Amino acid sequence: MLIVACQVCGEMRILPGTPDADGVARTVWTCPCCGAGQVLQLPVSADARGGELRRIIAGMGFSSAGDILNREEKVEP
């Protein structure tokens, strides 16, 4: 799994992929938002295969908009 962002508009995508034997992950994709072709060659220093998915994506979650609004209402200047 590769987490990538478009170099033109910043659209984020999760693409299937694994590093080669030399430790480099390669993928080609087209951004669905702006249509820019993307070529990615990324050296991978660590491989998470066999790890627990919850630990791998910890901290990547987003709160719902309602949750954020409720927190802002409670904060007093």
Q: Are 2 and 27 in contact (CB under 8 A)?
A: yes
Q: What's the pLDDT score for residue 77? A: 52
**pLDDT confidence band for 69 (50 / 70 / 90):** low
Chain centre distance of CA 46? 16
Q: Which domain holds residue 14?
A: 2-74
The DSSP secondary-structure symbol of 46 reads -
Report the DSSP pairing between strands 24-30 and 37-43. Answer: antiparallel
Q: What's the pLDDT score for residue 53? A: 56
pTM for the predicted model, two decimal places: 0.50
Residue where the block lists tokens 């033109």: 8
How many domains does the chain fold into?
1
- Rounded average pLDDT over 41-49: 68
What token pair was written down for 73? 């209402």
